């Protein structure tokens, strides 16, 4: 995985690799005026999320409240929330291949730092 790699999880949901971890992007719809949520995740946040994803019941929220992940081995719901200005929320549910892709991406990105240091 090269720097600035993009990992697509689902339509309108993708990770972009950054120097400090990754940014999770979610476009609320295909409309021109759709809201684009961009959640910066440090390696530590990715690692914490990865650890929670391996539990039968996952409930994880990033520190600033802009992203919550909850669910189980069958389905995860990601809730994106604006942290400034007007409250805007959007949810996306992942299951099947999209769930596998999300877990793979979080795992790969969380451990990217250790690979880069070796």
Q: Could you report the per-residue pLDDT of 102-112, keeping only the tens digit for each? A: 999 999 999 88
- Decide if pLDDT at 4 tops 90: no
CATH match for 6-117 among 1.10.287.130, 2.30.31.40, 2.60.40.1730, 1.10.10.10? 2.30.31.40
Q: Coil, strand or helix: which one is 117?
A: helix
Q: Coil, strand or helix: which one is 41?
A: strand
Model pTM score = 0.89
DSSP 63: T
Domain boundaries, the chain: 6-117
DSSP 45: H
Q: Could you report the per-residue pLDDT of 65-115, keeping only the tens digit for each? A: 999 999 999 999 999 999 888 889 999 999 999 999 999 999 999 988 665
Query: Given this model, what pLDDT does residue 2 score?
Result: 47
User: What span, in angstroms and rounded, lies between the C-alpha atoms of 112 and 31?
Assistant: 34
């Amino acid at each position: 995985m090269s720097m600035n790699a993009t990992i697509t999880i689902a339509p309108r949901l993708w990770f972009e690799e950054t120097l400090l971890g990754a940014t999770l992007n979610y476009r609320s719809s295909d409309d021109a005026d759709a809201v684009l949520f961009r959640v910066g995740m440090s390696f530590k946040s990715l690692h914490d999320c990865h650890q929670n994803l391996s539990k039968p019941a996952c409930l994880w929220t990033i520190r600033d409240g802009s992203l919550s992940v909850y669910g189980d081995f069958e389905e995860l719901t990601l809730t994106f929330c604006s942290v400034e200005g007007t409250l805007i929320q959007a949810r996306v549910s992942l299951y099947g291949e999209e769930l596998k892709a999300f877990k793979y991406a979080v795992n790969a990105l969380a451990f990217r730092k250790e690979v880069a240091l070796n």
